[in-house]
Amino acid sequence: MSSGAANAQWDSIVGSVTSIGEPTERWVSIRGGNTAYLVDVDEGEVKGTLPLSRFSPAISSHASAGKIYTYGSFYKRDVYGDLENVVITFDIESATPTGEIPLPVLPAGIGHSGMIGLIDESFLGIWNITPAMSVSLVDIRNDQFVREIATPGCAAVYPLGRGFMMPCGDGTIQYIALGPNGEEASRSRSPAFFDVMEDPVYDYAVPTANGWMFVSLEGLVYEATMNGSDVVISEGWTINPESNGTADLNGVERVNDDNWRISGRQPFAYSPQANLMMTVMHDGGGQEMFEKPGTEVWGFSTITKNRGYRIKMEGDQTVTSVQLTPGDDPLLLLMTSSGLQVHDASTGRKIKDINVSGGLIQNLF
């Protein structure tokens, strides 16, 4: 029997696409291997999966348009052969790929959510390292690559208005404003506020109400905002304040925890509505511990700059990622060595475990 005849019996078998439902603010994406899991945190269920490449560090959600974007690099023979770089578009309610946009420049296949960003609901910015640093801009209004902007010494894409911020190796934050067609309209930098050799900031950042929050390896917290065309950096505050003799929300005495360091692959999170910041913490070591798993999570009020509570991992559990869901009553999400934990963000009380493992946790809204 010919192979064609042998396979003819399968010709009428066609797969169907099922809606996974309309996501809410309590849905998140969790990256695990070559997959992004779409998780309904309220129900504690994985609703769908997005197939990624092994070089897709993050997604960028455009939930109001019903879309999720990512980028990926694919070898023709899986691990060798001709390389193809593309932006992939997914339908958010069916978790199915709906289109691809070729990328002529090699994107960074490492990192975190700062590697890709949705700018003004018009462009995707994608960070490249070839090894020269640059940003590719894709116009999602007509699904095409438009240009590459050189950004020597500056990493990541943090959208703000019609432009984006980037931390730079000279201790500054750079802002690039875009024109209507994705062309560079202007470029400005903040004064230097950190020394990359003494106390660098993470290239990971989280959004605030008016800008982005950056944290240094020694635990200094900064906010970068815009005042006209000027990049403004707030005065830093420390997550290790001199606070002996006072108790936190749970009655635990605050001490000068000089041996504790911020750490983890996704080391901090922030809720502008709740004025709450969370950090993954590791006991002991120096700055070289910045990506090590933590054994505690600390919660801070960004109004008082004091720690409100601390969560100790059970047994030999560790934690690598922390996230806060959007809204006035956020949930605290922890990716631990045993899976996803859900906590009450206002008190730290554990609510549930969800049987899903991975790394980066991203909100869809």
328 DSSP 8-state letter:
S
- Is residue 330 pLDDT above 50, yes or no? yes
- Is residue 307 pLDDT above 60, yes or no? yes
Query: Long-range contacts for 241-247 (Cβ within 8 Å, ≥24 apart)?
Result: 241/305, 241/306, 243/306, 243/307, 246/306
The owner of tokens 């400005």 is 188
Kindly state the percentage of the chain with pLDDT values over 90.
85
**Domain segments of the chain as ranges:** 244-365
Residue 170 Ramachandran class (φ > 0 left, ψ -120 to 50 alpha, else beta): alpha
Kindly tell me the burial class for residue 76, based on how many C-beta atoms sit within 10 Å of its own C-beta (0-12, 13-18, 19 or more).
Answer: exposed
Mean pLDDT along residues 314-329: 98
Question: Tokens in use for 282?
Answer: 């590791």
Domain 244-365 sits in CATH at 2.130.10.10
- Is residue 327 pLDDT above 50, yes or no? yes
pLDDT value of residue 253:
72
271 beta partners: 276
Q: What is the pLDDT of residues 216-228, one digit of tens each?
A: 999 999 999 999 9
pTM: 0.92
pLDDT band at 248 (very low <50, low <70, confident <90, very high): confident
Cα–Cα distance, 302 to 130 (Å, whole number): 38
Contact of 324 with 330, CB cutoff 8 Å: yes
Least confident of 4-13, 20-29, 225-234, 343-352: 4-13
Q: How many CB atoms lie within 10 A of CB 325?
A: 24
Contact of 137 with 182, CB cutoff 8 Å: yes
Cα–Cα distance, 165 to 188 (Å, whole number): 10
* Type and span of the H or E element at 319: strand 319-324
In order, the DSSP letters of 104-132 are SS-B--SS-GGGEEEETTTEEEEEEESSS
Cα–Cα distance, 204 to 350 (Å, whole number): 26
Mean pLDDT along residues 192-217: 98
pLDDT band at 249 (very low <50, low <70, confident <90, very high): confident
Contact of 120 with 162, CB cutoff 8 Å: yes
- Is residue 17 pLDDT above 70, yes or no? no
CB neighbour list of residue 297: distance below 8 Å, 6 or more residues apart: 278, 279, 280, 281, 310, 311, 313, 319, 322, 332, 334, 348
347 beta partners: none
Least confident of 286-290, 312-316, 320-324: 286-290
Query: What are the phi and psi torsion angles at 239 (to 5°)?
Result: -85, 0
In order, the DSSP letters of 44-58 are TEEEEEEE--TT---
Contact of 276 with 330, CB cutoff 8 Å: yes
Q: Report strand pairing: 296-301 vs 307-312.
A: antiparallel
